[in-house]
Structure 1
Amino acid sequence: MLQILQKTEEGGLNAGQSDIRGIGQVLWVLNFELLTDMHGDIPYSEALVKEQPKLDTQESIYTDLLSRIDEAITDLTAAAAAKENNCGEQDLLFGGNPAKWLGLAKAVKARLLLNLSYRDSGNLAKAKSAAEEALQAGFNGAELAIFNGVDADNPWTAYSWSRYYTGANGTVVDLMTERNDPRLAVYAADLFGTGIPYANAGDEDLAKMTETVGYPLWLENGAAKLHLFSLSEVYFIIAECQARAGQDATSAFASAVEASFEDYAESTGEDVGDAADYVAALGTVTLKEVMVQKYLAQTRDEQLQTYNDLRRCKAHGEEFIKLKNPRNIQGGQNQWPLRLPYGNSDVVSNPNVTAAFGTGNDAGNYLFTENIWLFGGSR
């Protein structure tokens, strides 16, 4: 990413090519957003230029990410108007189409603002506007469709077939069962005929064995697309912002669920029923149901943003999704991590990271007690 941006600077190979610069900024923001969302304070301003970079605060990182995504929107708006395409087939996502990258940039901005909404509720209205602008720009999802299931499988399928570590989740199954959700048939498919729909159900010892537990049918499809950013997430952002503001979220909610149904069907090749009938059966749209349906939609392959949503709602004192894994309970308390630890190589080789992670008996203990800055913590 750094090299992409450097090449667009004056004197660089791609100087003056605003489409490439805009694409580089979007990729930069997506990658560093993921890192800081998972870990909190991380090396950032010195990350790609020093061997032992300092840690920047998450607050300062998010300020820069928002600035960069705005720069990307400016660059891609100009590139789309000029119909620039300096990437062509080298762009595996959109074929170098700057208009499609512009839609993605606005969707990414909406997510950033939503993540920031616990710190400043005023960001909810901004997130809604950015998401609506993404749709107006023609955003229809950002999906990697580079796998054919013959010569190459997508990573989720490859992992499932090589390890057999993946199974349906009981929390998801219970939520779908309560709602008579037709997606359940493809989420917890009993391909092995054992009658065990998900892990830790029935005979626990049997559930731990390979080729016993039900699991998502899309893992059988090596050609299934992978989301960089789904269309349903954009609609769910709008629906949540509306619900939190006491506005009618019916339309955005219905569109979000419909997009999820289409995604489930496309990724599995199965009929998952009619989204409109399902939405009608759910009744009045509430904030809780928005978050539950977003959780079910993102079960496909967007669990990182699910983790953000769970922590953000928890910071608000909301528990719309009750996680039930008994393995998290230690000493009578749920040891569900509020953030992820730094990598071992960083902890060992960078004293700045070592200091943040801690040493001795205190090493890593904060993972279960301290929120990241986004959700009320200090780092």
Structure 2
Amino acid sequence: MKTRLKSIILMATLALGGLSSCQDFVEINTNPNESATAAPQSLLGPAVYKVITANINRNLRINNEFTQVTVTTNDNLEFHRYLVRPSESEYMWRSWYVELTNIKDIYKSAGEQQQAGYQIYQGISLVLEAWVYSLLTDMFGDIPYYESNKGYTDGNTSPAFERQQEIYKNLFLKLEQANQLLNTTNDIAGDKAALDPIFNTDPEKWRKFGNSLYLRLLLRVAHKPELNAITKIKEIVDIKPSEYPIMESNDDSAVLRFTNQQPYFNPYFNAREIDFNGNKGYSDFFINNLVAMGDPRLKIWATEATLGVYSGMQSGYQEGSVPERGSTLHKNLMTDPRLGNIMNYAELQFILAECALRNYVNQDAEVAYNDGINASMVFWDQTIGDEYFDNPLVSFSSTDSNNDKLGKVHLQKYFAMLFTDFQQWYEYRRTGLLDFSDYIGGGVQNDGKMPVRLNYPLITQSLNTANYKAAVERLGGDNLNGLMWWQPNLF
């Protein structure tokens, strides 16, 4: 009972607002001569780490089951059957909104400090805001945005839900502003810079990440004409590349590389292998495609089912008919520093390849595609020869249709985004280009439709009822199949 009460109180302080009863205590115990906000450099590392570890947790639990990376042998956990319990939504909602408060405080604190170069922290804050808010809206649709995280500052415990189109419009403005703030010759002193676990507070690398994230989000809504996303993609890539620098190599990838020393442990570093891998195996789709391509990443990611043999499991199997588990997640992943991935250079190259195939930009799609493959191999410390690209499942062929090429791009992108929050799910929902249907079993539910969103958290329904109902009415119902603004009706 106490645990449930604490959960309710915590959820009420997030997107729903703050607890006004705490305000008198805070005011009494606040020194009026000092800033009430922590230094920006002290907030950055913990906020990013907590978002990433939460993402990894539910990537393994939800994303990987939806997108046939893994399949659980627990007959009562049914994500691979496209069933989701309503309570599942609360973990990510809570995790993201808590850290948005800290991310926003980075911007506020940097402005209060009024020190040379501190606009870098403001730029970083805006990039992180765009990243986390995009994760939220892409999972739920309309969400508290302009009025979120204002329970303590403004006493707003019932924030309105903003429309997704408006959210995306403002995310683009944040990334534009970040691009300007990070365009600086200033730097941060070494001891403070080192508190950034991703780019060591290098403004140019943060700028490249921000603009690469910009392309990810622009492409996600490019099929919607309202925000002129295609025009902006072309501007960034073709017309004004010097004004919008993007990632140029794996060295620019946005990755919190776990040191496995305090405070940046891989979240599974001290876990038992059974807790990491005990009830799941890789899917047929995942294993069969890697085997067919002769992909060297397979041995890094998966165990052998039997000596020299990799095998998967059927996703969506019938209840009561649990298949034999084959290859599992390699236990070395429990200490691997690369699981802290936000966005890597390989993903950017596949974005550029797709944009070229869709004639959004004047670039060579095959070059970008091949560069993306090579970048992912290098990221995972693997090498490939010409024989990899000679495989017709990999190479662009003169007989391939444009859709065939897009399918190959997205299969490679799927593998390059392994362990990257919910991006595999979001991208499949946007394109439907990967053919999971040949691998799905007869136990799949939800009319065979992969969910396109998660329901709003139950606590939000209870504590912000009026605004929740308004958002649900726009959505056409709070269910797994409700089409948000950018979601095409593909399934």
Give the shorter-chain TM-score range. 0.7 to 0.9
Q: Provide the residue aligned with 2:180 in structure 1.
A: 74
Change (3 A) 1:345 1:194: farther
Between the aligned partners of 2:331 and 2:377, the Cα distance in structure 1 is 14
Q: Which amino acid aligns with 2:358?
A: R
Q: How does 1:227-306 map to 2 (within 5 A)?
A: 227-245=341-359, 248-265=364-381, 272-274=382-384, 276-281=386-391, 282-284=394-396, 286-299=405-418, 301-306=419-424
Change (3 A) 1:345 1:328: farther
Residue 7 (str. 1) matches residue 109 (str. 2): yes
Between the aligned partners of 2:344 and 2:268, the Cα distance in structure 1 is 17
Conservation of the 8 A alpha-carbon contact between 1:111 and 1:127? no
Conservation of the 8 A alpha-carbon contact between 1:288 and 1:320? yes
Residue 89 (str. 1) matches residue 194 (str. 2): yes
Distance apart, 1:220 and its partner CA = 4.1
Q: Pick from 452, 457, 476 the counterpart of residue 343 of structure 1.
A: 457
Conservation of the 8 A alpha-carbon contact between 1:85 and 1:96? no
Change (3 A) 1:136 1:283: closer
Conservation of the 8 A alpha-carbon contact between 2:120 and 2:181? yes
SS of the residue 1:135 aligns to? coil
Change (3 A) 1:8 1:273: closer
Residue 179 (str. 1) matches residue 273 (str. 2): no
User: For 1:237-286, what per-residue CA distance to the aligned partner results, in whole angstroms no more than 9, with x for missing partners?
Assistant: 10111112296311111110011112223xxxxxx441654134333261
Q: Pick from 159, 162, 166 the counterpart of residue 56 of structure 1.
A: 162
Q: Which amino acid aligns with 1:255?
A: D
Change (3 A) 1:35 1:217: same
Q: Provide the residue aligned with 1:111 in structure 2.
A: 216
Q: Provide the residue aligned with 1:325 in structure 2.
A: 440
Q: How does 1:8-23 map to 2 (within 5 A)?
A: 8-9=110-111, 12-14=112-114, 17-23=118-124
User: For 1:150-172, what per-residue CA distance to the aligned partner results, in whole angstroms no more than 9, with x for missing partners?
Assistant: 99641256667334244322221
Q: Which amino acid aligns with 2:159?
A: P
Q: Provide the residue aligned with 1:169 in structure 2.
A: 283
Distance apart, 1:33 and its partner CA = 0.8
Larger CA deviation: 305-314 vs 118-127: 118-127
Distance apart, 1:298 and its partner CA = 1.4
User: For 1:187-223, what per-residue CA distance to the aligned partner results, in whole angstroms no more than 9, with x for missing partners?
Assistant: 3312786977333489964646xxx642245524344
Conservation of the 8 A alpha-carbon contact between 2:249 and 2:375? no
SS of the residue 1:228 aligns to? strand
Residue 372 (str. 1) matches residue 484 (str. 2): yes
Residue 127 (str. 1) matches residue 241 (str. 2): no
Conservation of the 8 A alpha-carbon contact between 2:212 and 2:246? yes
SS of the residue 1:114 aligns to? helix
User: For 1:283-305, what per-residue CA distance to the aligned partner results, in whole angstroms no more than 9, with x for missing partners?
Assistant: 32611111111112212x12512
Between the aligned partners of 2:269 and 2:385, the Cα distance in structure 1 is 26
Change (3 A) 1:83 1:309: same
Conservation of the 8 A alpha-carbon contact between 2:255 and 2:343? yes
Distance apart, 1:358 and its partner CA = 6.2
Conservation of the 8 A alpha-carbon contact between 1:127 and 1:237? no
Indicate the structure (1 or 2) with the bigger Cα radius of gyration: 2
Q: Provide the residue aligned with 2:153 in structure 1.
A: none
Change (3 A) 1:330 1:61: same
Q: How does 1:157-236 map to 2 (within 5 A)?
A: 161=273, 162-163=275-276, 164-190=278-304, 197-200=311-314, 205=322, 207=324, 213-216=327-330, 218-236=332-350
Q: Which amino acid aligns with 1:326?
A: G
Change (3 A) 1:330 1:204: closer
TM-score scaled by structure 2? 0.64
Change (3 A) 1:218 1:189: same
Between the aligned partners of 2:409 and 2:256, the Cα distance in structure 1 is 26
Between the aligned partners of 1:108 and 1:169, the Cα distance in structure 2 is 29
Q: CA RMSD in A?
A: 3.4
Distance apart, 1:54 and its partner CA = 1.0
Conservation of the 8 A alpha-carbon contact between 2:258 and 2:338? no
Q: Which amino acid aligns with 1:64?
A: N
Gaps of at least 5 residues in structure 1 are 266-271
SS of the residue 2:342 aligns to? strand
Change (3 A) 1:275 1:309: farther
Between the aligned partners of 1:13 and 1:152, the Cα distance in structure 2 is 27
TM-score scaled by structure 1? 0.81
Between the aligned partners of 1:14 and 1:280, the Cα distance in structure 2 is 57
Change (3 A) 1:227 1:152: closer
Q: Which amino acid aligns with 2:368?
A: A
Q: Provide the residue aligned with 1:30 in structure 2.
A: 131
Between the aligned partners of 1:275 and 1:353, the Cα distance in structure 2 is 56
Change (3 A) 1:196 1:258: closer
Q: How many percent of aligned residue pairs carry the same amino acid?
A: 22
Q: Which amino acid aligns with 1:147?
A: T
Larger CA deviation: 122-131 vs 44-53: 122-131
How many residue pairs match? The answer is: 354
Between the aligned partners of 1:157 and 1:200, the Cα distance in structure 2 is 29
Change (3 A) 1:248 1:99: closer
Between the aligned partners of 2:425 and 2:377, the Cα distance in structure 1 is 21
Q: Provide the residue aligned with 1:308 in structure 2.
A: 426
Distance apart, 1:19 and its partner CA = 0.5
Q: Which amino acid aligns with 2:359?
A: A
Distance apart, 1:352 and its partner CA = 3.8
Change (3 A) 1:150 1:138: closer
Q: Provide the residue aligned with 2:3 in structure 1.
A: none
